[in-house]
Amino acid sequence: MWIDFPDFTNFTDGIAKNAIETGVPIEDISNFSLPNFNDGATKLAGFRNVGKSFINIDGISWYQKKKGKKEVKPRTRQLELDGSNLKIYNCSMPDADKLKKYVIFDQSKKTCIMIYVSDGSLMDLSGLVRSKVKMREEQVEAVRSALDGNESSSISFDYYQKTKRKKAKSDFRFIFINENLMSLYVNALPSKKRLGKIRSKLDGIEQWSTDEVNEYIDSNREHSVKGSDKRLPHMELDTTFDLSSCYVTILSGTLPHFVTRSSGKMRHVALGFMIHTSKHAHHHEAFSNFIMESIQKLDPKFKKRVPSIIHDGEAAFSNYRKGIHFESAVLCRCDLHRRSNIERLTASKVSDSDMKKLFGKTDAARFLKRGIFGALTLDNFEYRLEKSTVDDQIKIWIASKKEELFDSHSLKTKLLAGFYTQNVTSNQIECINSKIKTTIIQRPENGRTCAARLIDYLADEVTSLYRSALEGGDSYIICTAFDPSHSSFSLKQNIDFLAKLGFTDCLAPILNIPPTLKSLIPTTNANDILNLEVIPHIESFLVQKNQQARSFVEVVVKNEIIECRHPACQKQFPEICSHIIAVLLNSEVHHRDNYLNVLVAKVAESTSGHSTYNNTIRWNPHRN
């Protein structure tokens, strides 16, 4: 739809004529979609069947009216060309110069040519689109019922209405955190005592020379993986677009026991997400609170601490550093996003050479030059800024925000967070978002479909991590804690190993439980089930009722049947009791597979037409 068009300074009549003469294909206006500036900064497309609201069809705000100020709106002029009376619209964003739009409108033919011009920093326009999503309560319930029955997870579910001037507006958020992935992350976090001991090595850093900084980095090489300290796994946050009709905020974390094979870096995975209809702070407060609750559930004694959080600087992300687990968290901003900020707000180009002047220069992970942000104190930051040869406009802008910039970008902050490179970026979560957009959700979906696909994506990541832990690695992930001797492990040893890594659900991968049964297996500790005594009997097994009792219950396994005869277990079906799991754990692999096939068929028969209730999923409906 969109083609490249030569760059221009002013949209003259001659430029308009050239645009008309490009012979661009004319698309129906109903097929309109925003351009992406992957190459070139000017894009052009033609449309037919154009109605009255074509200026606002992109959802971007080109109008602004504030009390006491002159209204900002597109400027218009007439153009007569080859006997046609055309109207040209010159549209600028009211609060920024990052994007302009020009429209050549032929009212008699109801056709128009649109031209978008980006300042070069703006590649994706979707972030400028105003959210107008309104979800009715019945739509929200559809999301809820569609996701009921998913594997071990934590879900927050809110729907409420705000009333202003008697006009009701719906507001919606859906929060999901995969407990297995969050448990793996929390398990890798340092304790408060250990974090304090690691950071104590930085005492007196304010007086360090460049050589002393390099000596500190050298002393931590055994803990460094591609410039990041594996003892200090960090979190990242990013709000992305083009996944849903709503906003989608992704939470991710580093898992030090796993390495991505292609890059050699520690595995960085999505831990959960929030789908929300607006970027209001109250949504992010809810997500932050839910993250804290999820971590507290896994670490109720508050022993663990999150070392650092990286984000792109969105104001609402300041809500994510609350609670005891985050009391020691260092907040880092992405250096590459800051580069874009500087270029956009100062109208000054930041070259690669300027980046070295700002953030320093390294060779073999040693600093050759520290740059402005290589400062270890605010006074030294001011001194470095004054002596720097970067553009004056850049220096003025940095000086106006020096405290904020020092806190989030300085070398001192990076070392406290466990980063031993000159640049800290949010590239890892950006790569997750890119993977989701290119392979999981290739075009925007409704909230229900988007949520379901993201949940499946997280579940697939868990499966890959399981495989890596049990087999050492697959084509994508390597488990650094794996040892070839693990191949001779007993079931109990495998379960203990998975639990040590932080997996909350150890039974499903060990037994190769089919997806349809995963939500129905007991949440009891795997070792508790493994310790139950199981006695083979004629066409059945006698299984110890529980660890405290010496009585046994019968599990029948004859004639393609596997059934627990304990009355309480029969009432709970299709939930699978611990006695059946104990039999599966004590059966030969080929018998186990047969039993599982029988269970799948029996569960399908008993739940036909009904949705199963998964007691490991926690729904929290609220109305405000």
Looking up tokens 């009390």, which residue turns up? 67
The pLDDT > 90 percentage for the chain reads 30
> What would the pLDDT profile of 330-350 be if each residue is shown by its tens digit?
999 888 888 888 888 887 888
Side chain identity at residue 374, one-letter code: G
Whether 149 maps to a domain, the answer reads no
* pLDDT band at residue 6 under the 50/70/90 scheme: confident
- What's the domain count of the chain? 2
Beta strands 308-311 and 330-333, pairing class: parallel
What pLDDT score does 619 carry? Answer: 28
Q: Is the pLDDT of residue 488 over 70?
A: yes
Q: Give the separation between CA 502 and CA 72, rounded to whole angstroms.
A: 55
Q: Give the separation between CA 382 and CA 387, rounded to whole angstroms.
A: 9
* Span between the terminal Cα atoms of the chain, in Å: 44
Prior bond to 574 cis, omega within 30?
yes
> What would the pLDDT profile of 299-311 be if each residue is shown by its tens digit?
999 999 999 999 8
Whether 389 maps to a domain, the answer reads no
Between 20 and 303, residue with greater pLDDT: 303
Q: Is the pLDDT of residue 168 over 50?
A: no
Q: What is the mean pLDDT of residues 618-624?
A: 29
Q: What angle do CA 189, 193, 198 make, to 5 degrees?
A: 75
CB 389 within 8 A of CB 357: yes
What pLDDT score does 215 carry? Answer: 94
Q: Is the dihedral of CA 64, 68, 69, 71 positive or negative?
A: positive
* pLDDT band at residue 316 under the 50/70/90 scheme: low
Q: Is the pLDDT of residue 154 over 70?
A: no
Q: Is the pLDDT of residue 473 over 90?
A: no
Q: Three-class SS of residue 498?
A: helix
What pLDDT score does 311 carry? Answer: 86
Whether 330 maps to a domain, the answer reads no
What pLDDT score does 303 carry? Answer: 95
Q: What is the mean pLDDT of residues 23-37?
A: 80
Q: Give the separation between CA 121 and CA 398, rounded to whole angstroms.
A: 19
The pLDDT > 70 percentage for the chain reads 85
Q: What is the mean pLDDT of residues 480-501?
A: 84
Q: Give the separation between CA 122 and CA 38, rounded to whole angstroms.
A: 10
Whether 537 maps to a domain, the answer reads yes
Out of 103-112, 177-186, 441-450, pick the least confident.
441-450
Out of 166-180, 295-309, 448-462, 478-492, pick the least confident.
166-180
Q: Is the pLDDT of residue 440 over 50?
A: yes
What pLDDT score does 624 carry? Answer: 29
Last residue of a domain, one of 93, 127, 161: 127
What pLDDT score does 130 carry? Answer: 56
Out of 7-11, 442-446, 475-479, pick the least confident.
442-446
Last residue of a domain, one of 127, 160, 181: 127
Query: Model pTM?
Result: 0.69
Whether 68 maps to a domain, the answer reads yes
Q: Give the separation between CA 461 and CA 270, rounded to whole angstroms.
A: 9
Q: Is the pLDDT of residue 71 over 90?
A: no
DSSP letter (8 states) at residue 223 = G
392-421 per-residue burial string, b: 16 or more CB within 10 A, e: under 16: eebbebbeeeeeebbebbbbbbbbbbbbbb
User: What rounded mean pLDDT belongs to the chain?
Assistant: 82
Looking up tokens 């030090």, which residue turns up? 256
What pLDDT score does 38 carry? Answer: 63
Whether 307 maps to a domain, the answer reads no
What pLDDT score does 93 carry? Answer: 78
Q: What is the mean pLDDT of residues 17-26?
A: 83
Give Dmax over CA atoms of the chain in angstroms: 99
Greatest mean pLDDT range, 43-47, 171-175, 231-235: 231-235
Q: Is the pLDDT of residue 620 over 50?
A: no
Between 450 and 198, residue with greater pLDDT: 198
Last residue of a domain, one of 127, 148, 168: 127
Whether 30 maps to a domain, the answer reads yes
What pLDDT score does 380 carry? Answer: 93
Q: Is the pLDDT of residue 75 over 70?
A: yes
CB 447 within 8 A of CB 146: no
Q: Is the pLDDT of residue 515 over 80?
A: no
Q: Is the pLDDT of residue 248 over 80?
A: yes
> What would the pLDDT profile of 202-224 be if each residue is shown by its tens digit?
999 999 999 999 999 999 999 99
What pLDDT score does 95 carry? Answer: 62
Q: What is the mean pLDDT of residues 352-378?
A: 87
Whether 147 maps to a domain, the answer reads no
- Segments forming the whole domain that contains residue 46: 3-127
> What would the pLDDT profile of 95-150 be if each residue is shown by its tens digit?
666 788 999 998 888 889 999 888 765 555 655 665 444 444 555 555 555 455 44
Q: What is the mean pLDDT of residues 576-586?
A: 88
Q: Is the pLDDT of residue 604 over 60?
A: yes
What pLDDT score does 326 carry? Answer: 92
Enter the tokens of residue 497.
């190993």
What pLDDT score does 138 carry? Answer: 52
Enter the tokens of residue 480.
């650094």
What pLDDT score does 153 carry? Answer: 46
Q: Is the pLDDT of residue 607 over 70?
A: no
